[in-house]
Amino acid sequence: MKRLRALVAIGVLTLGSAGAGTAQAAPAPGASGCPTAEIFATNNTAVITDPDDPRLRTRLSGFDREVRSIIRAHGARPGDSTLLDGVFWSGQEQQATYERSREFDVDRVSPAGLHHIADVIRKEYHQESVLTFRCLPRTSSDVDAVEIQAPGVSPTRLRDALLADPEARDRLGGGSVALDGRLILIAPIADLPLARKLTESLGVDWNRAEVRYGDEEFVG
């Protein structure tokens, strides 16, 4: 799977008082409802460069059921699943690529168990990698990434913003948008200021964005 990072996709910045003041969004409603972990995955193996490609209209319903079964079979509890439209920058192709994927909430899972489940999914669907994100307290020593969620974004706007910002597209790689217009962007904590800049370039009020802290891993 391509890097689901600017989102998301994919240095550690010590967030002292100055860093927190410039990058931290106000807590959003529902922030406390972060699941134990999230898995971002797809069954697509093609490189899609046409935003009107019919493969981008699939709802991945069968994939949804299959991955839930994998999660359950390996001792974890599957939660909600969200259909995503991903927009990514291909340095090799020098153009935007597109992908339908799903984000799976996972509860009652250890870090080792999450890694194992992601690896099973990766192998089953012939993916280069599968992205996981464990929600953690901001003060945890394991925090190395953030997940930004913000309303009012479309895949087209995300694509245009990435094309207009070479630094963001090269460092963050891309991002995803849920069908309800919610941006989901995962980035290393060192790139939080850049992720904020990209988010605000989409017309998002940073005070309406939710920032979750955690540990990301590209299992591959």
Tens digit of each residue's pLDDT (9 = 90 or more) over 31-54: 457 999 999 999 999 999 999 999
In this prediction, residue 91 carries a pLDDT of 85
Mean pLDDT along residues 91-101: 92
Contact 159, 136 (CB under 8 A): no
The closest alpha carbon to 176, from 106, 118, 97, 70, belongs to 97
What CA–CA distance (Å, rounded) separates 80 from 219? 21
The mean pLDDT of 54-58, rounded to a whole number, is 96
Q: pLDDT tens digit string along 181-216? A: 999 999 999 999 999 999 999 999 999 999 999 999
d(CA 56, CA 62): 15
User: Strand pairing of 210-219 and 130-135?
Assistant: antiparallel
Residue 92: the pLDDT is 84
- Integer Cα distance of 23 and 196 in angstroms: 7
pLDDT-derived band at 20 (thresholds 50, 70, 90) equals very low
Residue-level pLDDT at 83: 98
Provide mean pLDDT across the span 92-109.
Answer: 95
pLDDT of 164: 95
pLDDT level of residue 93 (50, 70, 90 thresholds): confident
Q: Across the chain, what does the average pLDDT equal?
A: 88
Residue predicted with more confidence, 22 or 133: 133
